Amino acid sequence: MMMMMMALLRSGSSKILPRYQPSILPRFLHSHATSFGFKQDEKSKLVVNVFSTVASTYDLMNDLISTSLHRLWKDRLVSLLHPFAGMKHLDVAGGKGDVAFRVLERMNSVSNKALQERLADTEEVTKIFVCDINPNMLNVGKKRAIERVFSGFGEDRSLHWVEGDAEALSFADGSMDGYTIAFRIRNVTHIEKALSEAYRVLKRGGRFLCLELSHVELPVFKQIYDYYSFSIIPAMGELVAGDRASYQYLVESIRRFPNQC
């Protein structure tokens, strides 16, 4: 599979965006409705139902579908985030904790020890918020955190699990140093609202990183990719997860999502 990563810095650079206005949204956000597969539907509960169904087998299926490449893509996402001790970070639709765990691991790495020692004399406290609209996904993440207690995740007070909607976040304006969303923005009902909320909660100088699957452009590879997506992945979903329909939706949602151009 291919990947697409988008980054937005709220800083003093030329990439700064004015306060959200509908008229400045990218033209590729041509629809106000989520791409629920090849069906256009306003009901976000349908997406919630899909991820509730696949939550228990989602890790296994991700490894099988991407041949574990999704792990490398998430590592790259976090490396571009440049986490730091004392950071206030929001990972949206990341209920399983994949990105949040990586952020904490990077903060605790040897290369950050000196920074953490300097921070010990301040009152800054690291807070990583994992926000997901799906309670089943959050439960999977919490369970994984407990299982990783040897790494400090189970008792780490930096981790906060929040059930919430990407389109109506419960966090204050300018409260976050970073915002990530991995493989989920295509499932948001109104993408422009989610982007507006991301911009709202980020501090000036904060960083927005979106990791998403993209379209294959080379004709030969596109034919292979289409066959794999529409024939193999749903069949694997039926065999491994006992749910063909949900994985049919997932591959269709990639096709409905705007391309990387």
pLDDT at 180: 98
Q: Are 203 and 10 a contacting pair, CB within 8 Å?
A: yes
What's residue 189's pLDDT? 87
What pLDDT is recorded for position 61?
76
Q: What is the 3-state secondary structure (H, E, C) of 178-226?
A: EEEEECCHHHCCCHHHHHHHHHHHEEEEEEEEEEEECCCCCHHHHHHHH
Write down the pLDDT at residue 47.
57
Token pair listed for 123: 């009152």
| H helix or E strand, kind and range, residue 246 | helix 244-256
Which residue has tokens 């499932």?
187
Contact 53, 91 (CB under 8 A): no
Question: Rounded CA gap, 6 and 24, in Å?
Answer: 17
**Which of the residues in the chain have pLDDT under 50?**
1-2, 4, 7-43, 110, 150
pLDDT value for 95: 92
Residues 176, 184: Cα–Cα separation, whole Å: 19
By CB atoms closer than 10 A (0-12, 13-18, 19+), residue 227 is exposed
Which two tokens mark 7? 């980054």
pTM of the model: 0.74
Hey, what amino acid is at 70?
A: H
